[in-house]
Amino acid sequence: MADFLHELVGSISQGASGNPTVAMIEAAFAHHGLHWRYINMEVIPEDLGAAVRGAKAMGFRGFNCSLPHKVTVIPHLDGLGESAAVMGAVNCVVRRGNKLIGENTDGKGFLKSLQTAIDPRGKSVVLFGAGGAARAIAVELGLAGTKRITIVNRSEARGSELVGLLRDKLKLDAELVVWNGDFSVPASTDVVINGTSIGLYAPEARLALDLDSLKPGMITADVVFSPVRTRFLDDSAARRCTAIDGLGMLVNQGIVGVQFWTGINPDAAVMRAALEKAMGV
Ligand code: NDP
């Protein structure tokens, strides 16, 4: 039998060396006196099945997986959590008994971050984007009782696929607006989210949005975490919206992962500080 000095969790990724998540998760382990390690492993798509079997055989308590493995990992697992099953994507695997169960913490992290400002139950949301992040957010908002979601997306095909999923699987009041020119946010909207990659490493990048349609008291949130304060967040804060940054989503994903793996409630401030240090922000 293998004699482990530490409980192991990890990250199965491709091309993601130096992942700041490692620093954030290990800071939580150290702060809470857990003799756990989180290690980053590069795995090519052809080796994914062998890597998952290896992690199971070696007693890993779980792992994160990033692109390109989020969908292809599913056939190698023993089951899926509720939101991962709805969205058909896994970014966090948790050992429960002798089973490896796939979860998705992207949307859960976003939701936790959003809940510091508002409870989405019964609210109306405008969500820009229909890619992986937007899909995870929309599903988790739906499961949390959001009343209405308007997806605003450039590609009609991707947008209608997401709207179809929200309607069919979650019976949600969802509609698609194909994004063409400045979008005007309806006055009845409670939360406006940038779920696209617009603004990533591009502080000047502008979301095509009529800023005058943003009303004081609306909540705005960005998935983009670099820069931490995007132009969308600055512009909306200037209109007296409550602006929530994408770093909160990233930290909360880490928190949910640590909760899943270890059962403890890690200190959010410690994890955010470690992430900011690793990212140099
Ligand atoms: P995808 O490639 O799956 O989706 C990208 C989305 O952005 C699509 O909806 C795409 O529209 C839209 N988009 C991109 N460029 C433009 C443009 N110029 N004009 C209009 N729409 C555009 O990416 P992900 O969903 O995986 O990631 C999106 C962002 O979320 C990234 O910046 C990523 O870093 C961030 N992210 C943040 C996390 C966090 O914890 N804070 C976690 C996960 C992701 P179309 O369908 O028309 O192509």
**Cβ-based neighbours of 226, under 8 Å, separated by 6 or more:** 200, 201, 279, 281
Q: Is the C-beta atom of 221 inside 6 A of ligand 1?
A: no
Contacts with 235 (C-beta within 8 Å, 6 or more apart), sequence order: 211, 214
Q: Does 20 sit behind a cis peptide bond, omega within 30 degrees of 0 on the bond before it?
A: no
Give me the mean pLDDT over the 216-226 stretch: 97
pLDDT for residue 273 is more than 80: yes
Question: Could you tell me if 190 and 233 lie in one domain?
Answer: yes
With beta carbons less than 8 A apart as the criterion, state whether 184 and 210 touch.
yes
Length of the chain: 281
- Does residue 16 surpass a pLDDT of 90? no
Residue 54 has pLDDT above 60, yes or no: yes
Residue span of the structural domain in which 214 resides: 108-244
Question: 195: CA distance to ligand 1 center in Å?
Answer: 6
The answer to whether the CB of 96 falls within 8 A of the CB of 147 is no
- Ligand 1 pocket member 21 (CB < 6 A): no
Both tokens assigned to 100: 């490896």
pLDDT exceeds cutoff 60 at 26: yes
Q: Provide mean pLDDT across the span 141-160.
A: 98
| pLDDT, averaged across the chain | 94
Give percent of the chain above pLDDT 70.
96
CB of residue 132 inside a 6 A radius of ligand 1: yes
Checking if the pLDDT of 5 tops 60, the result is no
Q: What is the pTM of this model?
A: 0.94
With a 6 Å cutoff on the Cβ, whether 155 touches ligand 1 is yes
User: In terms of DSSP bridges, do strands 92-96 and 62-65 run parallel, antiparallel, or are they unpaired?
Assistant: antiparallel
Query: In this model, does residue 2 exceed pLDDT 70?
Result: no
Q: Are β-strands 92-96 and 124-128 bridged in parallel, bridged antiparallel, or unpaired? A: unpaired
For residues 45 and 115, membership in a common domain is answered with no
Which of 15-24, 108-117, 210-219 has the weakest average pLDDT? Answer: 15-24
Residue among 199, 193, 196 nearest 243 (CA): 193
The answer to whether residues 144 and 272 belong to one domain is no
Question: Measuring from atom 12 of ligand 1, which residue has the nearest CA?
Answer: 196
Same domain, 233 and 130: yes
Q: Is the CB of 176 under 6 A from ligand 1?
A: no
* pLDDT band with cut points at 50, 70 and 90 for residue 135: very high
Contact 22, 39 (CB under 8 A): yes
The answer to whether residues 32 and 266 touch, using CB atoms and an 8 Å cutoff, is yes
Q: Is 215 a catalytic residue?
A: no
Question: 5 alpha carbon to ligand 1 midpoint, in Å?
Answer: 39
Segment 4-19 shows an average pLDDT of 66
- pLDDT above 90: residue 94: yes
Strand partners, 172: none
50 shares its domain with 162: no
Q: Do 239 and 115 belong to one domain?
A: yes
> Same domain for 131 and 202?
yes
Exposure string over 31-44, b if 16+ CB within 10 A, otherwise e: eeebebbbebbebe
Q: Is the pLDDT of residue 170 over 80?
A: yes
Kindly state the tokens that stand for 259.
């909760």
C-alpha to C-alpha distance for 83 and 86, rounded to whole angstroms:
5
For residue 172, the domain's CATH number is 3.40.50.720
The reply to whether 145 and 166 lie within a common domain is: yes
The verdict on 206 and 269 lying in the same domain is: no
Asked whether residue 157 falls in the same domain as residue 211, the answer is: yes
Q: How distant, in Å, are the alpha carbons of 139, 160, 250, 259 from that of 145? A: 10, 21, 22, 23
Test site for ligand 1: of 197, 232, 253, most ligand atoms within 8 A of the Cβ: 197
40 forms beta bridges with: 11
Cis peptide before 68 (omega within 30 of 0): yes
CATH number for the domain including 17?
3.40.50.10860
pLDDT classification of 15: cutoffs 50, 70, 90: low
Q: Is 160 in the pocket of ligand 1 (CB under 6 A)?
A: no
pLDDT of residue 13: 74
Give the model's pLDDT for residue 11.
82
Q: Which amino acid residue places its CA nearest to atom 17 of ligand 1?
A: 198
**Do residue 150 and residue 233 come from a single domain?**
yes
Number of domains in the chain: 2
- Work out the pLDDT band at 161, boundaries 50, 70, 90: very high
164, 191, 203, 268, 272 from 228: Cα distances, Å: 32, 19, 9, 17, 12
Residues 94 and 74 in one domain: yes
- Would you state the pLDDT for residue 18? 52
Least reliable range by pLDDT among 13-17, 169-173, 273-277? 13-17
Q: Which is catalytic among the residues 56, 70, 171, 215?
A: 70
